[in-house]
Structure 1
Amino acid sequence: MKFSCEKALLQAAISTTSRAVSPKSSIPALEGILLEADQELRLTGYNLETGIRTTVPAEIRAKGTLVLGARLFGEIIRKLPDDIVEFTAEHYMVNIKCGMSEFNILGTDPEEFPELPTVEYQNSLEIGQNKLKSMISQTLFAVSDNESRPIHTGSLFEVGQDGLTIVSVDGYRLALRHESIEKKEGAEEFSFVVPGAALSEVEKICSDVEEPASITQGARHVMFKVGETMLVSRRLEGEFLAYRQAIPRNNSIKVEGDTRALLSSIDRVSLIISDKLKSPLRCVFEQNMLKISTKTAIGDAADQCPIDGDGGGLEIGFNNRYLMDALKAAPADRVRLELTTSVSPCVILPAEGEENFLYMVLPVRLKAGE
């Protein structure tokens, strides 16, 4: 095996594929990156749940395959000078040269590296990378980390006539984003659930460009193809929350506010809340004003934020982090908050334009002294 390629391109490919490498595994080959040189140079990382494969422009002089320890290989390439990397492997002995630097390290047998699962094609869609990236980042925070309901440790992808909807839910809040898609093939409507860990990697692979990313739904796996990089993940099986029934939409109180102003007020009051000193936010929705306060063992804090509309004096408690996560993710300058009672959820929507996002946060019961 013999090839040469630019250091920066090889480094980027190693850093992308390393994200799917097991830091510790009973199969030593899974702690490495599979290098395959034939017509092109391919790098693959796989942890038996998620696999990432990417191709690198390289001049290939001799074909071959080999597995190299991801951490050491990555560190060597990262610290090499910016030049052309010359890579030669005989049996399992690897020689890496770049500029004045030279390394000889041992690789392992590629036969021990498990094959990436094949995605038996069912349906597919295409969506701009920038859209997919923002949709994932604006819903991923609400993915559950509770393994007792494995289906909710991922996000639901729902594809219909009017586009793609991504929904995440963790029992305390719900995040929903909707966008139109470039094209789709297969069934009229289809849905699948992708693990949150895999989506976190897809978000990093996507760039802020309008070029499309393709998503292919298989019988047991799902594949994302972004430029020269492909990510394969298993699908989560089970009954996802019937989210449409869970969202209250005939709310009697509707107020609007500036997203940043609301966030700043909550942020200020949250200064005295910590992991050790937990306390809910007490929110009072009045005529054109939202009053926020909290009390912990070290003191109390209060703030006010102007809003448009009458909350009728509704007093309701929220976990400060859940409310902030939703407002941070909301891709709009102004939001509409819909509420009904102190024990029903708060629904956050765009104040103007189409409803391309919806966040729901469940309230926290307030004690008399808080």
Structure 2
Amino acid sequence: MVSPSTRAPDFVAPRPLRVLGAVVDAYRSIFVSGPAAPLLSRPNPVRRGGFELRLVVDDIREEAGGVRGFDLRAADGGLLPAWRPGAHLDLFLPSGRQRQYSLCGNPRERFRYRIAVRRIDNGEGGSLEMHRDIRPGDPLRARGPRNAFTFVAAPAYLFIAGGIGITPILPMVRAAGARGRLIYTGRSRATMPFVADLPAAEIRPDDEYGPPDIPELIATAPPGAAVYVCGPPPMLAAARRSMFELNPTGSLHTEQFSAPAVLDGTEFDLTLARTGRTIRVGARETTLTAIGRVVPDAAYSCRQGFCGTCRTAVLAGEVDHRDRALPDSERTTHMLPCVSRAAGDALVLDL
């Protein structure tokens, strides 16, 4: 992770030319206030707490090699909260693990949520639990839907999805219709879910086309287009490096599924005032990870600094803020320990 003074946000505001600006405004007036409005994300779509939901697994399908699809319904059989393209659910698994999964179904289908989970054998265990232990009829507790991957109004869209990164992109592609172009990459067709549902997509598996050249793909976006990229970290990094050199009038939107690695941290002492414990936070671990060793039930959700669930009061010390959620008025008194850390040698938190 680059330092807060230089790190680029996942959403970078467009710098449209005057004519393109007028076109975007026209689309906004049609698609925000018109009949397509339910499919566009509101300007501030992130819910800090989300809805607390009791769900039941309705159906499970094999979507591709190593990818399983899950249909979820309300435990009482009623309507589910509305959502917009880009939204995700926080699922609380029977083991106590908490994981985020993008909604990949139809936002207008109010009695069912759809998610897809790729099995990762050497991961932290959440995907294995979903694949091995979850069965139709099982209850699941969830929070959401929440959205930090905003689907904006634009005259044109370019979507680039890598593997399981297709899940938040899929509803956006459907909503964009003829204005959108999807380039879908992955290891092989056999491992890429939903290929059969995307007859108009450009399917580019690595074993047929080689690894994708992200700058080359971004260069094909029309001027002023909204470019959405979701996939592995190298894909996102390449998009951020090249976007505005190649398409200065467009906007870039990215999402990653895992917590970012700590690449430039330093060790510091963390004191938890309520427990009286002082622990050492490693240079390559997050503050939240260190807290979890003492307070295993500490609240968190996204682990990426956008939802605000882990917001914690700071009693002493200076904070190196790396989040996208705290307002300026709270930055002297609070922090998000999932990404932020001490700017000096020590912090004291109200935990």
Normalising TM by the smaller chain, what interval? under 0.3
TM-score, normalised with respect to structure 1:
0.21
TM-score, normalised with respect to structure 2:
0.22
The structure carrying a bigger strand percent of its residues is 1
Q: Which of 1 and 2 has higher RCO (CA within 8 Å, sep 6+)? A: 2
The structure with the larger Rg is: 1
